Amino acid sequence: MAQIAVLHNTLDFQGGADAVCLAVCDALQRDHDITLFTVSETAPATLADRFDVTLSDVRVRMPPGAAAVAGALSGAAPWIGPQLALRSVLLERFFRSSATPFDLAVSTANELSLSIPSVQYIHYPQFHLHRLADGDPGRLNRLLSRLAGPSSSELAREDTVLLANSSWTADVVADVYETRPEVLHPPVDPIPCELAWEQREDGLVAVGRLAPDKRLLDVIAVVDAIRDRGYDLHLHVVGAAPRAYRRYAERVAAAANERPYVSLERDVPRNRLEQLLCTHKYGLNMKQGEHFGMVVAEYVAAGMVAFAPASGGQQDVLGNRHDRLFDSVDEAVSLITNAMAANDPPELQPDRFAREQFQTSLRRYVNESLTALNR
């Protein structure tokens, strides 16, 4: 049994990266002693039911005052903008003083400069973004990169294993660090659904946190346009509403209230989410450049026909299908309208990204790293 530190910058945004973090803890807790380091006001147990995991043997450590700091950062998000890299700096600085007892670090907080052997799972690079031709580093990224960002030579070390959530992300990492990670798609279990395709409602479901990057107002615009074409399509918007995005959430709620065919449900339990996915035919994501697309993968896992922008890791999820990937709101309208007219059932397999596959691969990478330490 090894002493393993799992590093995750925050659980406060309640998205796909957090699902990966909890799945990693779940995968390793049986055979190893796990400590989760994070900077969050959200407790792991709060998300365990939503992501269907049991965390029975995981300790949590946070820097002094971390919950208050996390709350302040979430509250200030509308003014300070992206903050994951900042939280990662706080996390890395705290872990640096606590790393000695651990045999291995597993980062689900993207790339970090670490003093011990590590397995690092990258959802999208967070440091040195100025190296990307189309990157948007922001004003503080160079400073934060100096504080906690790894060098290219650090990530190329033999005792560092790099993983990426999609082939697209792996290419971006290679552009930044000149080292390409192996691809390990995030875990998304098939969702058992009883209704046959023909029995499902002609409805659209859009799942995701109520945040500007999810473009939920565009989702509503897509449904408006499809209804204008004569199709009786309704929409369920389902998402968490972290305090950081409260202003945008209010705009989405106002738009939903104006339309009898749009419903908004916040912070739903897992069984309600699965009920919606299993009783509707179509799923839509509008975020451009999604690093993987956990929501899109869940649509597939529930036997829905899914649509997403033709960018980012969603292309992996939807098998690069031209009839499911779009470049604009108008094209999304056309693709969904065509699918409704054809009424063809989905063709992608629901178990493509099953959690068992993810956890088996993750354990293999961790065990190989631990074995290398003992040679």
- At 81 the pLDDT is 47
CATH code assigned to 3-187+354-373? 3.40.50.2000
Whole-model pTM?
A: 0.84
Beta strands in 127-284 (DSSP E): 160-164, 182-183, 201-207, 234-239, 262-266, 280-284
Q: Do domains 3-187+354-373 and 197-342 have the same CATH topology?
A: yes
* Domain chopping of the chain, boundaries: 3-187+354-373, 197-342
Other Cβ atoms within 10 Å of 227 Cβ, number: 15
Nearest residue to 186 via CA among 121, 105, 238: 121
* Separation between Cα atoms, residue 97 and residue 149, nearest integer Å: 17
Is residue 5 a contact partner of residue 101, using CB atoms and an 8 Å limit?
Answer: no
Other Cβ atoms within 10 Å of 334 Cβ, number: 16
CATH code assigned to 197-342? 3.40.50.2000
Query: DSSP of 319-333, one letter per residue?
Result: TT-TTTEESSHHHHH
Other Cβ atoms within 10 Å of 317 Cβ, number: 30
* Separation between Cα atoms, residue 268 and residue 298, nearest integer Å: 15
* Separation between Cα atoms, residue 300 and residue 283, nearest integer Å: 8
- Residue tagged 């002693």 (tokens): 33
Spell out the per-residue pLDDT of the chain, length 375, in tens.
899 999 999 888 777 889 999 999 999 999 999 999 999 888 888 888 778 788 887 899 988 877 677 666 655 454 344 567 888 999 999 999 999 999 999 999 999 999 999 999 999 999 999 999 877 777 788 999 999 999 999 999 999 999 999 999 999 999 999 999 999 999 999 999 999 999 999 999 999 889 999 999 999 999 999 999 999 999 999 998 777 788 999 999 999 999 999 999 998 888 999 999 999 999 999 999 889 998 999 999 999 999 999 999 999 999 999 999 999 999 999 999 999 999 999 999 999 999 999 999 999 999 999 999 876
* Separation between Cα atoms, residue 10 and residue 219, nearest integer Å: 27
* Separation between Cα atoms, residue 167 and residue 13, nearest integer Å: 24
- At 71 the pLDDT is 66
* Separation between Cα atoms, residue 178 and residue 35, nearest integer Å: 31
Beta strands in the chain (DSSP E): 3-8, 33-38, 58-61, 104-107, 118-122, 160-164, 182-183, 201-207, 234-239, 262-266, 280-284, 305-309, 325-326
Nearest residue to 224 via CA among 256, 191, 187, 184: 256
β-strands 104-107, 182-183 pairing: unpaired
| Order of strands across the sheet that contains 58-61 | 58-61, 33-38, 3-8, 104-107, 118-122, 160-164, 182-183
